[in-house]
């Protein structure tokens, strides 16, 4: 395999592994979000459930998604029944063989991520996801426009590929 072929193979493998920001997962459930973003998020979800994409998320992803669903119920964006159904779906997703939940203390450390966040002027939570993406050489997907725009402005400092969920296209079966 030539150097260019190896580079393409590495990039393809990296793109088939992702770190998923909680903002993307909330698009799966919040029907009042922009339809085009919801569609792209659904395409990613389909690729995940079909096993075409390997997911890496920190354990705090569960807290962020759950917290977002609770907030949506309080804001009357979701009914209690819809939120409970979403929580059931989340519980099912984390049991998929291609879904990897990375606990703190084992796969990432608070102090290391905090230093990283301070050095990059990121929130601690955003830094956890980006740190994990760098460690696993996985693409980072977000629906957080503020974070995405910040990463675009500072991209020269990052080795981690990051993407806006609105740019996601389904992977070809095969």
Domains of the chain listed by start with CATH number: 17-165 (3.40.50.1010)
Q: What are the tens digits of pLDDT across the range 121-171?
A: 899 999 999 999 999 999 999 999 999 999 998 865 567 889 999 999 998
Please write down the long-range contacts of 48-51, taking CB distance under 8 Å and 24 or more positions apart: 48/93, 48/96, 48/98, 48/99, 49/93, 49/96, 50/173, 51/96, 51/97, 51/98
Q: What are the tens digits of pLDDT across the range 72-84?
A: 999 999 999 999 9
Q: What are the tens digits of pLDDT across the range 94-130?
A: 999 999 999 998 888 999 999 988 988 899 999 999 9
Q: What are the tens digits of pLDDT across the range 45-60?
A: 999 999 999 999 999 9
Burial of 72 (0-12, 13-18, 19+ CB in 10 A): buried
For residue 38, what are its two tokens? Answer: 């919801």
Per the confidence metrics, is the pTM higher than 0.75?
yes
- The CA-atom distances, in angstroms, between 126 and each of 36, 80, 104 are 24, 28, 14
């Amino acid at each position: 395999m030539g150097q260019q072929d190896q580079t393409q193979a590495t990039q393809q493998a990296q793109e088939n592994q992702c770190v998923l920001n909680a903002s993307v997962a909330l698009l799966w459930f919040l029907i009042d979000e922009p339809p085009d973003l919801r569609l792209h998020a659904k395409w990613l979800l389909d690729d995940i459930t079909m096993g075409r994409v390997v997911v890496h998320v920190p354990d705090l992803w569960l807290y962020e998604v759950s917290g977002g669903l609770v907030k949506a119920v309080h804001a009357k964006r979701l009914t209690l029944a819809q939120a409970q159904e979403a929580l059931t779906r989340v519980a099912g997703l984390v049991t998929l063989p291609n879904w990897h939940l990375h606990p703190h203390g084992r796969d990432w450390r608070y102090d290391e991520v905090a230093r990283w966040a301070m050095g990059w002027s990121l929130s601690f939570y955003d830094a956890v996801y980006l740190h994990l993406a760098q460690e696993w050489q996985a693409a980072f997907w977000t629906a957080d426009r503020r974070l995405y725009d910040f990463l675009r402005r500072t991209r020269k400092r990052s080795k981690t590929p990051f993407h806006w969920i609105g740019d996601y296209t389904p992977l070809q079966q095969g």
